[in-house]
Amino acid sequence: MIEPVALSTLTTFQIGGPPVARVAPVTEHDLINETLVVWGMAENWLLLGGGSNTVVADDGFDGIVIHVVTRGIEVLRSETTSEADAVTGPTGGVRLRVQAGEPWDDLVAYSVDRGWSGIEALSGIPGSCGAAPVQNIGAYGQELADSLVAIDFLSYETGEVERLEHADLGLGYRTSALKQGLRGVVLAIELKLHDTAAEASVLGSALGQPLKYAQLAGALGVQLGDRVPLQIVRATVLGLRADKGMVLDPSDPDTFSAGSFFTNPIVTEAFARSLPADAPRWPLAAEPADRVIPLEEYTGVGPVPGEEPVRMVKLSAAWLIEHAGVSRGFRLPGSRAAVSSKHTLALTNTGGATAEEVAELARYVLGRVQAEFGVNLQPEPVLVGLTL
């Protein structure tokens, strides 16, 4: 055990009191052993990585914090393509095993510098690599799920180290089995990235994956599906995130947050039609093709035979918040918590804010959106000792 400190010093929101105790082992071996000791002696334990997605109550945490700070990136295998195949053929692959405490953006920078693509659009996301699969981090058309092969996981239920494959993790939009009740500690993640070394030797630069996000393509001045040099993609993403206050900057209180505080809601297509026509929406599945159903197969009563399942649509939480009357920079009277002046999805600590002030602001935003549009927004960060 090491001396507990206020969790405000370990979280990007800079809010939260101290735990009862804290462990911060620096090797994977020690992380396993010390975690097992904590599990054997304490009912209440809290897993903390980079602290970028956690909001802790002002009176702290009544238990032991397991602070994951292990570092290291290991190349497991590299499969390269020939220069002749580099332009028209697939790029080679490289597999990495990354310690859970490695800062996520350090991994992205490391990969981009070596010409490995697949996570370049995830540049600038704060937090640790071990936390990345918990909510399947994603941005600008890429998700961790696109590159994640497996994780090494210390199970709370068995006390054993297990390898959980991609298919075991239930990865979805900002969710996973880890977020839905699977308890334990991510020890390391394994990724498969695209090695563009041969391609770069022909074309003169390492290209990122085909662009899937309109805003990023627009910022780059190219079309969806185009490929752009990795370093340019990374720099552009960092710029876009900085404009929204989503890149940590000690001189900018707008970045003292947990990033996006609310997830984009997913609703039925029928419900989405009830919203204003200009409300952004993104179907989660392709439009079904027209079908011809013989009359003898349908009586006119009940569902159409073989009818397609209900289609779901993702909405913009930022649009809903703004059009519910909550503007950028909004704060409740006397509060030191505010909506970011750059992006309505982020709630920020303007200086000395309490956890309860953040919770009060979040409740206000939730209430406004519910009253105006009938949509229940869901908080994205882990709330410790707080309820909304």
DSSP 8-state class, residue 310: P
pLDDT at position 298:
58
pLDDT at position 120:
98
Question: Angle 4-126-122 (CA atoms, 0-180°, nearest 5)?
Answer: 155
User: Positive or negative, the Cα torsion across 258, 264, 266, 272?
Assistant: positive
Going along the chain from its start, the domains and CATH numbers come out as 7-67 (3.30.43.10), 73-243 (3.30.465.10)
Catalytic residue (choose from 34, 322, 360, 380) = 380
Helix 104-113 vs helix 230-243: crossing angle, to nearest 10: 150
pLDDT at position 205:
84
The mean of the pLDDT values for the chain is: 91
Catalytic residue (choose from 22, 97, 174, 234) = 174
pLDDT at position 39:
97
pLDDT band at 88 (very low <50, low <70, confident <90, very high): very low
> DSSP H helical segments within 279-375, as ranges?
317-323, 355-373
Task: Tell me the pLDDT tens digit for each residue of 243-301.
Answer: 998 888 888 988 999 989 999 999 999 999 999 999 999 998 765 566 666 666 555 65
Catalytic residue (choose from 8, 52, 260, 340) = 260
Residue 199 pLDDT > 90: no
Residue 304 pLDDT > 60: no
Residues 6+ apart with CB under 8 A from 76: 95, 96, 97, 190
pLDDT at position 302:
57
pLDDT band at 308 (very low <50, low <70, confident <90, very high): low
| 385 in Cβ contact with 57 (< 8 Å) | yes
HSE (CB half, 13 Å, CA atoms) of 281? 19
Task: Tell me the pLDDT tens digit for each residue of 95-131.
Answer: 999 999 999 999 999 999 999 999 999 999 999 999 9
pLDDT at position 91:
52
Phi, psi at 211, each rounded to 5° = -70, 135
Residue in the block written with tokens 């349908």: 298
Residue 174 appears among annotated catalytic residues = yes
Q: Which of 40-44, 81-85, 338-342 has the highest mean pLDDT?
A: 338-342
pLDDT at position 306:
58
Weakest-pLDDT range from 159-173, 216-230, 241-255, 359-373: 241-255
